[in-house]
Structure 1
Amino acid sequence: MATETAVQTFKNLINGEWVETASGETFATRNPACVTDIIGKFQASNEADVVQAMESAERAFHFWRNVAPTKRAEILYKAADLLEAGLEQYAEELTREEGKTLASSRLEVKRSAQTLRYYASEGLNVTGDTIPSDDPTTLVYTRKEPLGVISVITPWNFPISIPARKIAPALVTGNTVVFKPASDTPLIAYRLVEVLHQAGLPAGVINFVTGSSSKTGVSLVTHPAVKAVTFTGSTGAGEKINRSVRLSTRVQLELGGKNPLIVMDDVNIDHSVELAIKGGFELTGQACTGTSRVIVMDSVHDEFVDKLIEKTKLLTIGNGLSKGIEVGPLANESQLHNVLNYVSIGKEEGAELAIGGERITEGEYSEGYFVRPAVFVGVTPKMRIAQEEIFGPVISVIRASSFEEAMEIANDVEFGLSAAICTSDSNRIQQFIQNIETGMVKVNRPTTGNAYNAPFGGVKMSSTATYRESGRAAIDFYTQIKTVYHGF
């Protein structure tokens, strides 16, 4: 474990140079499984640092937009190779920094490399349209062109895969980037920027600043150079960004979720329990697509709950670097207090805490943010634990007497990100797909997980519902259409 004196200090990247902040201030990050383990020191940037980054990105855009698509792709391919070459190091650093299991970290780093390769390829297929013209002497067609400077602001729960799926399509379409990661997980974000820099990105094409949103946020979203802001995080922060941007600034917001799993009465109970456990407790419940509500038919409710409790008891909790761990710590002290607070709220509201919900402090757990995964039963749809995003390992089980009632409960929240159903009834499946109010639908699958080549996003308060992330659809956010009338 690192000590204060032995800790490495990491710098910002501005205009192709690794630099300190003008103030010289730094902040330290710590392992949420063992808070005496200091990960590193990072630049406590302020608005002046962001302005420098913006000016650098704006200058670089005039060059980068005209770089051949094959050259841009070549850089992304090389960066992907560098990520995979450092897989074990980066996965271990990610686990130390965020807390997720080493297996999950390996998958995230590998997926990020796949994302870079995917967009390297997609960048060669950005095309316009030729439009029929009534005038035979005029050719009408469209071009897709880059926007300019993109402000990328990302969360701590997927601290390399979310930045990769934002930055890669931005770069490959000719935009430049100013990137600010979450302050809980700046090291793995630094590693992503580092491999892009090493792969040959010209100076200023990507700029990297760390620090608190309170000291950097204004310029990140309001600087005149910013042509688009892409943000993943809390709904409250997203709403603030949406109110702050200039009229001409494009915005993409991926926000919270309160994702349901409906368990019908024709299911294999063991399978449905596995879906709930995976969706609700994997990643310590810290996923915007995590299963927060399980809506179960009356006839199978008691059997489902019994088996859910049994499986929850068997989960191994601990430092994600250890073998066999299934549930790591919460990512920070704020998350710890938030989850414990919601456990108290659930009990006060009259729900029955069937298992878990307490902080674990004995022995090896004493210096980490560990909470035993919780299952509430007797939950009613209007309780706060059934309406508000908890972002932790807490599952609320709600009874329903019919498919129609289950659908009503599932849709009766302000969020609409992901939803799943467990059934073999093809008619119910089609009704679910058609009527559920979410951006992503899962059938006999957990609410979590999405393919890097498929669109990702929600409806209602889960997203701006304008531009999707991931897949080919993501390219639309980073490009604008120019219509050309070419006379002969």
Structure 2
Amino acid sequence: MTLLDQQVITKNWINGEWVKGDGDPLTVRNPANLKETIGELTLSTSVQVKAAEESARNALQSWKSTTGNERGQYLYKMANALEQNAEALAELATKEMGKPIGEMKGEVARGVQLLRYYAGEGVRSDGDVIPSTAQGVLQYSKRIPLGVVGLITPWNFPVAIPIWKLAPALICGNTVVWKPAENSSLSAYKLCQIFEEAGIPKGVINLVIGKGSEIGSYLVERTSINGLSFTGSTATGTNIAAISAQRNIKYQTEMGGKNAAVVLKDADLSTTVAPILSGTFRSAGQKCTASSRIIVEEAIYDEFVTALQKEMKNVRLDYPLHEDSYLGPVASRAQYAKVQSYVELAKQEAEIIYENKDQPEYEGYYVNPLVVAGVANDHPLAKEEIFGPLTVVIKAKDYQDAIEILNDSEYGLSGSIFTNDLSKAHQFLEDAEIGMVRANLETAGVEYQAPFGGLKQSSSHTREQGQAALNFYSNLKTCAIKYK
């Protein structure tokens, strides 16, 4: 079986072997063209999950005994193999979940960067020398692996998010059981084929394919994993956190967001509107960091709306495999139904500022981009995570009112301010009750070497990416030796 198979039939990857699941088959169709079959999922049962855990456990001692440099060399090989297969993987992932091909190529490139970034950690310091109060005692700290780590990843970033979990987990000496979302499983399967090509040792990465409600639950509740990293909905994440805490499993949850872009009266609208709309509508709004609210100071509200309506003509709904596609369909039938329910609510209860009317060439899960206004900050359109191409514009009296509207949310993931006032920009970075704050930049997008995570109900209290990820995927051991 090659990476460029016309149709893909997934299998689990357990102990370096491709194993068919015991569950039901599920046909996968292109969300941008429902007449096109992409492949078939063969769902796993708890039998495969248990086997994957045992495989990871058996491989653990050998993997964690390798030097950091040796583990880093494997990650470099994985990065090279991913780079060589980048276009084929990007095309498959686009066909599987509908993200425009240009964005997906960028996501694969980010995966390569992440692997190389963490590969370098294999030869960097992993602890500190700590002065002792006694003479003749050397005291120091060092990071040690957690053990077997479970990874549960979402469908909206089918390459980048798995890698930003896998890479730090592996460089810290852990072995992995990975459960991707069902509608990114074909991409996960191909990614593991690439890692197999790179020569990663058997059992270090184990892939299981299936439903979160079944094998995801089994992984969290029944296996003897030592750590768990989850990205998905807040409802599922808080449940996972409760179970993990009860079982004393180290856990990390990245969950929902209701992010806002704040526009002050001194903002330069010629350079403000385009990045706001990019942060709102790229990936059809299916980013946890997407701008779902736009809070505008009333002194420029009308001017901003006019500029937004003009710029929205560049927000095109298109078939995602076209190289210049701005946004494609949402990822699945369930996602389409959810987003459409908010679209209908908006048409009933909000003021329509702009509605896109594009008609794509294929039948798929296309949702026309929509901008609305005229609802209070406690309205469902302004409070709930929609995860689709719909945003609400909210008027604020002044900076302080904008901050109060921004912070009046159960979420606290990402936010931005657009202003030429350097003092207000810095003040926003302090006042915003969110984990990732930006000035004159869109809400969506954090560089791979920077910590990723939110406050409130958006995240548990750890961070992904950057140096912060190493803290989650390891324990700290304090060592002391008396030498005289």
1:31 is displaced (CA, Å) by 0.8
- Is the 1:340–1:357 Cα contact (8 Å) retained in structure 2? no
Distance 1:31 1:172, change over 3 A: same
**How far 1:263 sits from its partner (Å)?**
0.4
Corresponding residue number in structure 2 for 1:339 = 339
Q: What's the CA shift for 1:419?
A: 0.5
> Which residue, out of 459, 468, 476, partners 1:463?
459
Conserved 8 A contact 2:31-2:97: yes
Provide the C-alpha distance between the structure 1 equivalents of 2:85 and 2:179, rounded to a whole number of angstroms: 22
Percent of aligned pairs with the same residue?
42
Instruction: Give the letter for the 1:269 counterpart.
Output: L
- Per the alignment, residue 473 of structure 1 pairs with 468
- Which residue of structure 2 aligns with residue 18 of structure 1? 18
Shift of 1:363: 6.5
Where does residue 251 of structure 2 map in the other structure?
251
Kept in 1: contact 2:268–2:420 (CA 8 A): no
Q: Deviations over 1:261-313 (max 9, x none)?
A: 01011111132211221110111110000001000011111111122122223
Change in CA separation of 1:223 and 1:435 when aligned onto 2, cut-off 3 Å: same
Matched, 1:485 2:472: no
Residue 223 of structure 1 corresponds to: 222
**In 2: Cα distance, 1:137 partner to 1:313 partner:** 72
380, 385, 389: which one pairs with 2:381?
Answer: 385
Runs of 4+ in 1 over 4 A off after TM superposition: none
- TM-score scaled by structure 1? 0.95
Q: Which residue of 2 aligns with 1:62?
A: 61
How far did residue 480 of structure 1 move? Answer: 0.4
* Aligned AA (1:391): F
Write the distance in 2 (CA, Å) between the matches of 1:363 and 1:301: 32
Shift of 1:485: 2.4
- Mapping 1:304-323, distance limit 5 Å: 304-323=304-323
2:179 equivalent to 1:180: yes
Q: Which residue of 2 aligns with 1:300?
A: 300
Q: Could you report, residue by residue, the CA deviation over 1:334-357 in whole angstroms, capped at 9, with x for unpaired residues?
A: 111111111222344x32122227
> Do the aligned residues in 1 keep the contact of 2:412 with 2:433 (CA within 8 Å)?
yes
What is the CA-CA distance between 1:36 and the residue it aligns to? 1.8
Partner of 1:470, secondary structure, is coil
Give the SS at the match of 1:280: helix
Mapped partners of 1:59, 1:302: distance in 2: 64
Q: In the alignment, is the contact (CA less than 8 A) between 2:317 and 2:360 conserved in 1?
A: no
Give the whole-Å Cα distance in 2 for the aligned partners of 1:93 and 1:469: 26
Report 1:361-372 matches (<5 A).
Answer: 364-365=361-362, 367-372=363-368
The 2-side partners of 1:390 and 1:220 are apart by 28
Equivalent position of 1:137 in the other structure: 136
- The equivalent of 1:419 in structure 2 is 415
Supply the distance in 1 between the matched residues of 2:311 and 2:335 (Cα, whole angstroms).
Answer: 24
Q: C-alpha deviations, 1:104-140, integer Å up to 9, x for none?
A: 0110111101100000002322422221112213322
Q: Which ranges in structure 1 are unaligned for 5 or more consecutive residues?
A: none
1:161-180 → structure 2 map (5 Å cutoff): 161-180=160-179
Residues 214-238 of structure 1: CA deviation (Å, up to 9, x unaligned) = 2202221123421111011110110
Describe the SS at the equivalent of 2:183.
coil
Equivalent residue for 2:427? 431
Q: Please tell me whether residue 449 in structure 1 is matched to residue 448 in structure 2.
A: no
Letter in 2 for 1:474: A
The residue aligned with 1:281 is 281
Contact 1:375 1:394 in 2 (8 A): yes
Are the equivalent residues in 1 in contact too, given 2:99–2:327 (CA < 8 A)? yes
1:407 Cα deviation (Å)? 0.3
Q: Give the C-alpha shift of residue 248 in structure 1.
A: 2.0
How far did 1:251 drift? 0.6
Paired AA for residue 461 in structure 1: Q
Secondary structure of the residue aligned to 1:380 is coil
Please tell me whether residue 128 in structure 1 is matched to residue 146 in structure 2.
no
CA distance in 2, matches of 1:36, 1:211: 23
What's the offset of the Cα at 1:316? 2.0
Deviation at 1:174, TM superposition (A): 0.5
C-alpha separation between the residues in 1 aligned to 2:259 and 2:8? 39
CA contact (8 A) 1:29 1:185 kept: no
Contact 2:418–2:439 (CA<8 Å) still a contact in 1?
yes
* Residues paired across the two proteins, number: 478
Q: Secondary structure of 2:451's match?
A: coil
Contact 1:126 1:144 in 2 (8 A): no
Deviations 1:29-65 (A, max 9, x none): 2211011211111220111110110011011111111
Q: CA RMSD in A?
A: 1.6
Q: Deviations over 1:416-466 (max 9, x none)?
A: 00010000101111210111001001100000011010100000000002x
Q: Please list, as runs of the form range in 1=range in 2, the aligned pairs for 1:234-245 lying within 5 A after superposition.
A: 234-245=233-244
> Relative to 1, partners in 2 of residues 1:24 and 1:330: Cα closer, same or farther, differing over 3 Å?
closer
Q: Is the contact between residue 47 and residue 218 of structure 1 (CA under 8 Å) also seen in structure 2?
A: no
Q: Give the distance between the partners of 1:193 and 1:472, measured in 2 at CA.
A: 25
What secondary structure does 1:185 align onto? helix
Cα distance change of structure 1 residues 258 and 171 upon mapping to structure 2, 3 Å threshold? same
Amino acid at match of 2:310: E
SS in 2 for 1:131: coil
